[in-house]
Amino acid sequence: MSTTTDATVPMVELRGVHKWFGDAHVLRGIDLVVPKGTVCVVLGPSGSGKSTALRCINQLEEIGAGRVILNGELMGYREGVRGGRPTLYRLHPKAIAHQRAEVGMVFQRFNLFPHMTALGNVVEAQVQVLRRGKDEARSRAVDMLRRVGLDDRMEHYPAQLSGGQQQRVAIARALAMDPELMLFDEPTSALDPELVGEVLAVMRDLAASGMTMIVVTHEIGFAREVADQVVFMADGVVVEQGTPDEVLGSPREARTRDFLSRVL
Amino acid sequence: MSSPTGSDATTPGREPERIHAVPVRYPGRWVAAAVVAVIAAMAVHGLITNPRFAWPTVGKYLFATPVLQGVLWTLALTVGSMVIAVVLAVLLAVMRGSDNPVTRAVSWFYIWVFRGTPIYTQLVFWGLISVLYPKISLGVPFGPEWLSFTTKDLVTAFRGALLGLALNEAAYLAEIVRAGLQSVDRGQHEAARALGMKEGTILRRVVLPQAMRVIVPPTGNETISMLKTTSLVLAVPFTLDLNYATSAVGNRIFQPVPLLIVAAFWYLLVTSVLMVGQYYLERYYGRGFDVHKVNAGPQGPRRGRAARQAAINAAHTTPEPTPLDEMGGGLHNPGGVQ
């Protein structure tokens, strides 16, 4: 791993990323830089490609053109030379899995493992991927569940937890892997309104601790309060980006203004 | 807070008056019960008093040595072939869902052949294998041989029967396993990938345990079906199983009917035992799905299809707001790492 702790190297860099699903051209050249320790909130109407962009970062989707660079390391490919010309070699799935382990991801529908308890969910990947011992993984899981306020729900199965509690377990599960970057894909969209607050509180706490985060959300209040950078996407391109004050306070583009007037 | 209407039911400190209504009567149920009871009594009476069933002979042979040995051989064939078939079926199902076109084609071809030909034909074939291939040897293809066996010693009648039953069953089970794997939500695979798990780990730890919930009930069905399919092994020919053993005795003493009853009794008994086993397997793989919201202790998952469905439906939207102060206490807990 050529990862680095140099603070000048951005945590994530997307350079001209394109993505096609068959004939559908869903990402049309995304450029984005997320510095270490910052929070980037991605806004946009549904179908704008924001979730796809997020999934391209940890290679859940294979990109069609461009580069995704995580902490100075090219994701999904190795640069080499073939026939005297610079060429990309696709990495073996195991190597990609290794790269993914450095990025935590939280999904809209939680995707907890229903056959494992909350504790089991947080322990599992630590043991299977990081090869931590049972005891170490367990104590780390307990710490993480305490951090999201669920140390009294450790032996519960996901079906016994509320949506907000499930999403907090999902956050704990990702954090237990010691990720350098956390991706949130509409983490509160599937929640009942009264449960949104508890999840946002955990995310706010996480941002305050210095975690680098990219958050796809419709929670404008969260963006205004927590984001260092707000990105507005539509039709597979970044329409506008800047500080929350710039993008949310005085948007330059008509499409941004139109979107904000409808969600606020 | 008293309700604006001030009704008794909501006044604190006073128990609401419970309804003790007279339940609806269903006289039709009593009539049906009487009819069934009469028919059942007639049937039992007819069975007991009809001398052609030869009940004393049934009693004499129920626990006879060849019969009991037949039960054991039948059990061995059933359990043995099912175990081999399940392992093979998982392999075939994974191959079928693989990215690799070669393994996909091999799996498809296997299922096509073994599901598309009668089990009886296959069993005859395994019986004839030593005639078709008198010697089996290990070595370099088209080259030198290192080890060789006489097929007749390697594939005995029992092994031929076991192999024939297992290879046939695997083709059916592979489709059941495939359906099970497909029933698991895509998001599970995705979440596991995002955590950095490799495909093999995802299958073993995440997808297969959840697929088992779908796989176990039809596999129980297949096992019970297999119990009776073992009666076809005389095609190999293997002649120690329950069906052959009882009919042999029946033919020898010229009384086939009582021995058929003996066979039916044992098949039914073993089926019942297998059903109990299936109950516990289903309960084990239903954990996390069978949980009852209301009174679920973390270690006491409850059973029942309706409860399971309710739990799945409720999984994403259970309205149980957590008090915010409880949460805040956790959030700023100094025991938390970082």
pLDDT recorded at residue B118: 95
Return the ∠ at Cα B207 (arms to B204 and B211), rounded to 5°.
110
For residues A196, A201, A202, A205, the Cα torsion angle rounded to the nearest 10 degrees is 160
d(CA A159, CA A122): 16
Judge whether B171 and B115 are in contact, CB under 8 Å.
yes
pLDDT for the residue numbered B295:
39
Q: What is the pLDDT of residue B332?
A: 40
Which pLDDT score, from 0 to 100, does residue B135 have? 85
* pLDDT value for B10: 53
Q: What is the pLDDT of residue A116?
A: 95
Cβ contact B331–A205 (<8 Å): yes
Give chain B's residues under pLDDT 50.
1-9, 292-307, 309-310, 316-338
Cβ-nearest to A209 among B287, B328, B338: B338
CA dist B184 and B319 (Å) reads: 25
| Residue to substitute from A98, A99, A160, interface B, most B β-carbons within 10 A | A160
In a mutational test of the A interface, the residue from B316, B317, B325, B332 whose CB has the highest number of chain A CBs within 10 Å is B316
Identify the CATH number of the domain in which residue B73 sits: 1.10.3720.10
Whether B233 maps to a domain, the answer reads yes
Domain that holds residue B133: 54-293
pTM of the complete model: 0.80
* A-proximal residues of B, 183-212, CB under 8 Å: 185, 187-188, 190-199, 201, 205-206, 209-210
- Indicate if the pLDDT at residue A14 is higher than 90: yes
φ, ψ dihedrals at A237, nearest 5°: -130, 160
Interface of B with A in 249-288 (CB under 8 A): 285, 287-288
Distance from CA of A101 to the nearest CA of B (A): 4
B253: in domain: yes
Interchain CB distance below 8 Å, B331 and A147: yes
3-state secondary structure of B129: helix
The b/e string for B207-233 (b: 16+ C-beta within 10 A; e otherwise) is bbbbbbbbbbebbbebbbebbebbbbb
Query: Mean pLDDT across the stretch A42-58?
Result: 94
Q: How far apart are alpha carbons B90 and B98 in whole angstroms? A: 12
**Cα A153 from Cα B330, distance rounded (Å):** 12
- Which amino acid does the sequence have at B324? L
Say if residues A196 and A221 touch (Cβ distance below 8 Å).
no
CA distance B56 to B38: 26
What mean pLDDT value characterizes chain A?
94
**pLDDT for res A264:** 73
User: Hey, is B148 helix, strand or coil?
Assistant: strand
pLDDT for B291: 59
Of A70 and A3, the one with more pLDDT = A70
In Å, how far is B199's CA from the nearest CA of chain A? 8
Helix (H, G, I), strand (E, B), or coil: what is residue B293? coil
Sheet containing A103-106: order of strands: A103-106, A181-185, A212-216, A39-43, A229-234, A237-242
A98-156: pLDDT as tens digits: 999 999 999 999 999 999 999 999 999 999 999 999 999 999 999 999 999 998 999 99
Does residue B28 form part of some domain?
Answer: no
Distances in whole angstroms, Cα of residue B29 to Cα of each of A251, B38, B43, B158: 74, 14, 21, 52
Asked whether residue B304 is assigned to any structural domain, the reply reads no
Closest residue on chain A to B328 (Cα): A149
* The pLDDT of residue B251: 93
Of A69, A41, A45, the C-alpha closest to A216 is: A41
**Integer Cα distance of B94 and B109 in angstroms:** 14
Indicate the number of domains in chain B: 1
| Within a domain: B149 | yes
For residue B315, tell me if it sits in a domain.
no
* pLDDT value at residue A171: 97
Residues of B in contact with A155 (CB under 8 A): 298-299
To the nearest whole Å, the CA of B319 is away from the closest chain A CA by 6
pLDDT digits (tens, 9 = 90+) for A164-216: 999 999 999 999 999 999 999 999 999 999 999 999 999 999 999 999 999 99
Q: Cβ of B201 and A128 within 8 Å?
A: yes
**Residue B131 domain-assigned (yes or no):** yes
